[in-house]
Every structure is written in structure tokens, then in C-alpha cells.
DNA sequence: CAGGAAAGATGCGCGCACGCAAGTTTGCGT
DNA sequence: ACGCAAACTTGCGTGCGCGCATCTTTCCTG
């Protein structure tokens, strides 16, 4: 339903976007993030620099998007997939945790990179805002909230909480030595457990979800 | 306590900052926002363009800051001033509403400008994030939450809710005619009442505040 | 009050984001 | 199969954000 017809045009676009973000990530990992010019990324993707800017508004966004990809959509989908019987707060929490937990090999190197560079960390944290719209839609449906006023606030709060959790998680970024050590062992987790931090950050919002849920299904 | 000694250096800095934002706003109102180059602002403030960039990272931020000024601090102060007897959720709501309500004559023209320009609207909405740190501090104190983990989440949620309220408030920005009409009458309020919108956006968070408050003062 | 340290202002240079006005490709109706 | 309209790509030009090195101002301490 969401894919009536891919269309050749659309496929090419997605291919270009993918090529750009992969190139951006690869180059950033190979040389340092500061040693990658837009021109390089565009060339590696077989595209003009101007076109690159039609897809990404900043170099950081391109690199980060290779890790973030379509996390927003996957979170929304994960939430929609949960049985409607469970408490909404729990469903949201688990959906979020789930999507931030599956960490592959490639993401490790990338996360490493992001941890060390300020600009990249900022860009990475900014991606949390992207989960807002899809989350709003799903929550609004569960709450039977056509105007989606409270759904929007709740979704935005979730995004903010996730942001805070991630902030804390990759805080000790000013310590290159520790990072290097972790790199040697193949670990990324800078400090503590991400799932735990996510749950902790989201838990204060649970009462708000409960109240909203109670309001529609007494 | 917060002002042990102004110091000449600090005063000059604030003066420069003020000169820059006033110049930015004035020029933006006189000609269009797009007809103001950084060079103009710097010159009007009697400062080099490079120095301007030491104070503001973007032209939009400079213009908007003339309206936002130190709203963050004032919100925090307003909250801290409330008697500790009242419900935290109410105290926060009223503090926020109060600080977004006092709208002078100059802000009207500025708001007008912001409403019409996409980039300015974006910058304006981004300022809501600035209330997060001071709000966190005050909330953490009320909750007696040293680590401020829940306080941070709540403060961030408030910021997000305020953002949404403002978004809705100045939504019909694509309608220059209506704006012009309002201008003629001296009204800015694009649609509905801002205080109402703020209260509506914040209300879903009340249960979260109640629960947090209950946890510390049973 | 002298003199050094710390903070700030400024000039320079580099990439970058993006509007604009072509040129090129894809989609669709007939 | 043709051809037009819409979508996308690209080159060009402009102003901007900011790192870096240098010079000036403010501050502090003996």
C-alpha cells in the first residue's frame, strides 16, 4: 500500500542517495572526517557536487545518514506491529529500544567516528527529530486522536528523551584514548548500556502515555 | 549571586551583542530579511564581520535573538519564583505562558517578519531548545533530583511542546495577504491564542510531572 | 604600578550551501 | 511510437561560517 509502484525514476533517486551516503561514510572512515571534501563524495558517487547538495544539506548529514538510514520508518513500523493490547508506553519503549539495538559491524566503525567528531555527534543527535512525524502518526492512531495534538507532543517528547539518552551514551567523547582502546577490542559502547539508558530516559514519560491512553479507552 | 561582578570586559561584550542583534533586526525590518548581508550588520554595529561571527553563527540567529533575547533565563526565573506549594506542572505552564505573553510593539514587527520568512521561522522555533538547560536546573531542584535525569527529560519535553505550540501558532505563514491585513490592524496573532496553544500543548505532560513530583514527596 | 597571562578583535583563506537558469531524463497520454 | 510536461541534473555565482595566526585590550598578581 505504501509501495504502489517503485517507478524507475524513484529507484534511481534512491540509488543515488544510497551511493552518496555509502561513499560519504567510506571516505570518512578511510581518511578522517575532516579530510573529506564534498567534491570527493560526489565524485565517488558518480555525481556532480551540486547534485549532492540536492540530497544532503550538509556533509555531516550525509555521513550520519549511512548509519541512521531509515530508522524513523522502522521505529514507526515496529510500534505499529505491536499488539494493541499492551500499554502504549511499553510498546513505544520497546519499539525504540529494538531499533537502536541492532548494531552491525559497519555501524561500529561509524559510531566510533561519530563519537570522536563534534560536528558528527551533533548531526547524529539531530536525527532523533526525524522520528517525530512517523511516531506521531502511529501514536495518533492508537489514541484515536484525529487532530493528533497530544500525539504530537508525546512523539516529540519521545524524540527528546531518545536524544538525551544518546547524548549521555556517547558523552565521554573527549577521551580519544579510551575510544582507541575500545576500538582495539571491537567495542563501541562508550559508557553503560544503550538500551538501559533509553528505558531510563523514556520512563518519566510513561505516566503521560498512560493518561492519554486512559482518556480514550476508559 | 549570579552577578558577583559585571567586569568591564563582560559589559563590552554584552554591549556588542546587543548592538549586533538590534542592528540585525532593524535592518531586516527596513529592507527585507534577504536584503541584509552580514557585512551590513557588522558595519551598523561598528564591528568587523569576523567579530560578528564570534557572536552569532547565522544571520537568522542574530535577527531572531533580538526578539528572544534572554527568554530562557526569564522562564527559569519565573518558575523559580513560584511558591513551592503549587503543582509543578502548573508552575511550569504558567511560567512559560507568562514569558511568551508579554509582547511589546517592536516584537510585533519582528514576529511579522519571522512569520513570512521560512529561514527565520526555523531559527525562531529552534530557540525553544535554549530553555532546556535552565529549566532542567530549576526542575531538578524542585524534584530534588541531583543527577537530574528525569528533570532533563521533562525539561526537554516542555521545550518540545512549546515548539509545537509555536509551530501551530504561526502556521498560516504561506498567506501573505492575511498577514498584511493583520499588520494593518496592528495585530500579529496569526491564528488562535498563543497562551491557549501553549497550555494545550503542555497539558499532556502534566501527568508526567505529577508522577515525578509524587516520587519525591509522597 | 608594572608586566605577563588571558580573553577578545580582526584579517585572511577555504569549502560549503544554495538560488538561478540552463540542459537532460523519465513518465504518461494519445 | 511520439511528444509534451514534469522531474531531475548540472554549472555558475554569491554570500556565508569558521579555523588559524596575529594584534589589541582587559585582567590579575606581586
Instruction: Find the length of chain A.
Output: 218
Chain B residues with CB inside 8 Å of A207's CB?
Answer: 207-208, 210-211
Nine cell digits for residue B8:
568591564
**Residue B112 confidence (pLDDT) above 80:** yes
Window from B17-26, B111-120, B151-160 with minimum mean pLDDT: B111-120
| Distance of residue B201 Cα from the nearest chain A Cα, in angstroms | 7
Window from A146-150, A163-167, B117-121, B175-179 with minimum mean pLDDT: B175-179
**Residue B193 confidence (pLDDT) above 70:** yes
Chain A residues with CB inside 8 Å of B157's CB?
Answer: 153, 156-157, 160-161, 205
Sign of the CA dihedral running B38, B39, B41, B45: positive
B119 touches chain A (CB under 8 A): no
For residue A5, what pLDDT band results from cuts at 50, 70 and 90?
Answer: low
Please compute the mean of the pLDDT values over residues B204-217 and round it to a whole number: 94
Residue–nucleotide distance: A195 CA to D7 C1' (Å): 42
A40 and A61 Cβ atoms separated by less than 8 Å:
no
Domains of chain A in start order, with CATH, are 1-67 (1.10.357.10), 70-216 (1.10.357.10)
Chain A residues with CB inside 8 Å of B204's CB?
Answer: 150, 153-154, 208, 211-212
In this structure, the number of other CB atoms found within 10 A of the CB of residue B167 comes to 17
A164, A207, A210: residue with CB nearest B152:
A164
**Residue A2 confidence (pLDDT) above 60:** no
Chain A residues with CB inside 8 Å of B163's CB?
Answer: 156
Closest C-alpha among A119, A125, A116 to residue A173:
A116
Nine cell digits for residue A7:
517507478
Nine cell digits for residue A23:
561513499
B62 touches chain A (CB under 8 A): no
What pLDDT does B109 receive?
81
Convert the pLDDT of each residue in A89-121 to its tens digit: 999 999 999 999 877 778 888 888 998 899 999
Residue–nucleotide distance: B128 CA to C7 C1' (Å): 29
Please compute the mean of the pLDDT values over residues A44-68 and round it to a whole number: 96
Plot region of A189 (φ>0 → left; ψ -120 to 50 → alpha; else → beta) = beta
CA dist A27 and B142 (Å) reads 48
Which residue is associated with the grid cell 558517487?
A45
Check whether residue A47 has its CB closer than 7 Å to nucleic acid strand D: yes
DSSP string for residues in chain A: ---S---HHHHHHHHHHHHHHHHHHHHHHHS-GGG--HHHHHHHTTS-HHHHHHH-SSHHHHHHHHHHTTHHHHHHHHHHHS-TTS-HHHHHHHHHHHHHH---HHHHHHHHHHHH-HHHHHHHHHGGGGGHHHHHHHHHHHHT-SS-HHHHHHHHHHHHHHHHHHHHHT-GGG-HHHHHHHHHHT----SS-HHHHHHHHHGGGHHHHHHHHHHH--
Question: Angle at CA A12, nearest 5°, toward A11 and A14?
Answer: 65
CA dist A175 and B70 (Å) reads 33
In strand D, the nucleotides that come within 7 Å of a protein beta carbon are 7-13, 15-20, 26-28
Closest C-alpha among B38, B97, B119, B103 to residue B67:
B103
φ/ψ of A211, rounded to 5, equals: -65, -45
Classify B18 as helix, strand or coil.
Answer: helix
Q: Best residue in B157, B166, B196, B213 to probe A by mutation, most A CBs within 10 Å?
A: B157
Q: Kindly give the interhelix angle for A8-30 and A59-68, rounded to the nearest 10 degrees.
A: 100
Of residues B159 and B180, more confidently modeled: B159
**Residue A35 confidence (pLDDT) above 60:** yes
Residue–nucleotide distance: B79 CA to D27 C1' (Å): 35
Chains A, B: CB contacts within 8 A come to 68
What pLDDT does B2 receive?
45
Check whether residue B18 has its CB closer than 7 Å to nucleic acid strand C: no
A138 and A80 Cβ atoms separated by less than 8 Å:
yes
Check whether residue A35 has its CB closer than 7 Å to nucleic acid strand D: no
For residue A7, what pLDDT band results from cuts at 50, 70 and 90?
Answer: confident
What pLDDT does B106 receive?
80
Amino acid at each position: 500500500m505504501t509501495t504502489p509502484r517503485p517507478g524507475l525514476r524513484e529507484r534511481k533517486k534512491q540509488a543515488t542517495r544510497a551511493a552518496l551516503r555509502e561513499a560519504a561514510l567510506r571516505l570518512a572512515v578511510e581518511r578522517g572526517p575532516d579530510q573529506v571534501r564534498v567534491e570527493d563524495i560526489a565524485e565517488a558517487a558518480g555525481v556532480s557536487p551540486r547534485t549532492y547538495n540536492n540530497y544532503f544539506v550538509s556533509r555531516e548529514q550525509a555521513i550520519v545518514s549511512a548509519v541512521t538510514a531509515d530508522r524513523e520508518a522502522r521505529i514507526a513500523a515496529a510500534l505499529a506491529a505491536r499488539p494493541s493490547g499492551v500499554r502504549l508506553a511499553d510498546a513505544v519503549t520497546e519499539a525504540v529500544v529494538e531499533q537502536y539495538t541492532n548494531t552491525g559491524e559497519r555501524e561500529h566503525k561509524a559510531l566510533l567516528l561519530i563519537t570522536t567528531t563534534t560536528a558528527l555527534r551533533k548531526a547524529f543527535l539531530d536525527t532523533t527529530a526525524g522520528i517525530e512525524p512517523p511516531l506521531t502518526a502511529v501514536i495518533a492512531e492508537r489514541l484515536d486522536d484525529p487532530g493528533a495534538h497530544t500525539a504530537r507532543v508525546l512523539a516529540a517528547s519521545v524524540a527528546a528523551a531518545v536524544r538525551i539518552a544518546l547524548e549521555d551514551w556517547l558523552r565521554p567523547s573527549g577521551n580519544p584514548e579510551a575510544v582507541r582502546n575500545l576500538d582495539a577490542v571491537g567495542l563501541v559502547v562508550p559508557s553503560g548500556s544503550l538500551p538501559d539508558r533509553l528505558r531510563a530516559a523514556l520512563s518519566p514519560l510513561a505516566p503521560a502515555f498512560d493518561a492519554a491512553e486512559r482518556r480514550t479507552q476508559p
